[in-house]
Structure 1
Amino acid sequence: MIKRGTVKEQLTVDSVSIKKNGSCPLMPEEVGLLLQALGYPSTTIIYLAGSETFGGQRILIPLRAMYANLVDRTSLCSQRELSDLAGPESPLSSDLPHPPPPKSEKELIEEWKKAGPRPRPLPPPPARPFYAHEKEGWYGWIGENDTEPDPSPIEFRRQAHRLLWDALDYFVSVQADAFFPGFHNDGSGWPDYSSLIMGHRLYQTPSGITYRPD
């Protein structure tokens, strides 16, 4: 944008203030360096809690190089065990509309000849609104909002599975010997996943080791 002249002023980013504000989570490599500085050996078993890692498995390569015993729920639990966690589920009925039967080339030509004047193209649709669960984080989509469309049954089931898997990670994090959050206090005023775990650990096991990178 600077080369094109869209932005003429100088752009600067204060990474220190952003990290202090909680808007810049620690990268896995930074977590590994901090754990090494704290004296944890390379044989330490690290459980990676959380729904998804920003950047995918590629971002975890430096951390895996430092600590080979990096595990998560997918590596410790089989697909059958994760399914048993959800319990028996009835199959969902497919309510998707069926496509119309294909037409021959002759039928398409006849329909084209019988069609009247071609309508003018419609204007582009309005931009999709951003809902509360997309702005607030993992806790936003749990509550209902009248302005959001009704989710499909399969979406309800996916959300239920995510809650169960997050609960499993939560339980492991609370019971762990030490807890090191990679992200804490995003500045929104709402409790995030890490702050809930730290509060639970402080209440249940005050003697447990809980690090606060901020």
Structure 2
Amino acid sequence: MFQHPDEAHQVSQPDVSSFARGYQRGLAWGTARREPIVKTARWSGLVAAAIILAAMVGVYGFRWQNDVTYGVSHVLPLPAATVDNAPIWYRDYAARLRHAEAVYARQSSGTDGEEVTGLEGYAMDRAVYDHVLRDIADSRDIRIRQSPVQQRFQRLYTGDTARARLARAPGVSADILKRDIANRLLRQELKARLTEAGELGEQDINTWMCQRVQQRDVTYWLPGITPS
């Protein structure tokens, strides 16, 4: 007997209940696999938050200076001071302090508490001075290219001279040395501009700069740091 194609090729209907049970089992399996990952991520986040909080309390409450606070400062921006409400970051201050301590340790037999405090004040002074210098240079459109900085660095700190050996000493920062070179070049160019404009007068550039620093609104955030 002739059969209609729809009757000859009937399509079975899907078992919805079986599909639902399979989906639920898969969902439960996926959830079970995710739970350890979620717990691990949660605990990792709590540990990281605790380390950051401890570092902040240590920096601002107890003046900690260690690898933990230094490492955290590269992840979390911690201000060490503000100049006209512009931040000087703790990581920059700490890098300069570590550099100063390494240079001092290389040049002397050691440091005691009083001398380290003096180095902290020196590092803060340099950070503020450099910030104001760069701000003034930017306002006068004074720029220093990297090539003369690199050339002078190679000339001063390569070879077997005492200065070159100092640059290779543990803790001495090549970045800080290059920054100091760039700042000296900025100061020289600023001096030339001021002299040409008749703004410098009888003053030397350092005296002129120190006066400009004193005119700024500087707030120190770290306890016990006494700038000179």
Task: Say yes or no: TM over 0.5.
Answer: no
- TM-score (ref. length: structure 2): 0.21
- Of Structure 1 and Structure 2, the greater helix share is in 2
Question: When the two structures are superposed, what TM-score results if normalisation uses the length of structure 1?
Answer: 0.22
Max Rg structure: 2
